[in-house]
Amino acid sequence: MTKPLIIAFDGPAASGKGTLASRIATDYGLPMLDTGLLYRAIGFLRAEAQGDMADAAAVAALASDITPELLENPSLRGRGAGEWASQVAAIPEVRTALKQFQIDFAQQPSGAILDGRDIGTVIAPDADVKIFVTAAPEVRAHRRWLQLVKDTPDLTPDEVLADIRLRDERDSSRSSAPLEMAKDAVLLDTTDLGIEAAIEHARRIVKDRRGSH
């Protein structure tokens, strides 16, 4: 049996980690989990119920309401869901409620690719390859604006930049599993890279790292 391969992609909002993770998952035929969707789903459910985002126990209990269908809901990709996700993601009880599911996903026999904020540090600290994907805030905001403006024509790039800065700050400063680069991660800055060039860089990092294990 071939050895499992676990690859962790972490990084700030709209850095391109999801796109890179899914392309590398296709290359290697590995299952992939976008862990941000789990936090988005909880934030979305809580917002729909008009509940208090700061009620730790009630928000964490929503982890058991996440279904595969909910994770396909396009509303989870919206601007509001990203903001709610970052609020609920700072609650330690929420992180605990989602942790084992992510660990089990990472530990399946084939291995897996996960993208998020704390994959290389908390969920899969022994991952074979860890890539920390980043880009300048203005570049990330522009990319995210291009995605969101289709459904929200009045949205301005500056509003998206403000959202991203707020989220970066909250995600990096929280006490529970903050966004930070694992010591053994490779930094991939996509500020000046198009999608295909970034994918080539990521492929090379995976090959190099696998070779060194």
Contact residues: ligand CDP, CB under 6 A: 13-14, 18, 35-36, 39-40, 82, 85-86, 89, 116-118, 167, 171
In terms of CB distance, is 16 or 111 closer to ligand CDP?
Answer: 16
In terms of CB distance, is 170 or 210 closer to ligand CDP?
Answer: 170
- Residues in a beta bridge with 111: 5
CB of residue 211 to ligand CDP, shortest distance in Å: 27
In terms of CB distance, is 111 or 116 closer to ligand CDP?
Answer: 116
CB of residue 73 to ligand CDP, shortest distance in Å: 13
Q: In this structure, which amino acid lies at residue 99?
A: K
CB of residue 207 to ligand CDP, shortest distance in Å: 25
SS3 159: helix
CB of residue 62 to ligand CDP, shortest distance in Å: 14
Question: What are the respective helix, strand and coil percentages of the chain, to the nearest 5?
Answer: 55, 10, 30
Residue among 1, 2, 7 nearest 112 (CA): 7
DSSP for 3-41, written as a single string: PPEEEEEE-STTSSHHHHHHHHHHHHT--EEETHHHHHH
Question: Given its phi and psi angles, is residue 76 left (phi above 0), alpha (psi -120 to 50 degrees) or beta?
Answer: alpha
Q: Could you give phi then psi for residue 167, rounded to 5 degrees? A: -65, -40
Cα separation of 136 and 146, whole Å?
16
CB of residue 64 to ligand CDP, shortest distance in Å: 18
In terms of CB distance, is 147 or 210 closer to ligand CDP?
Answer: 147
In terms of CB distance, is 92 or 208 closer to ligand CDP?
Answer: 92
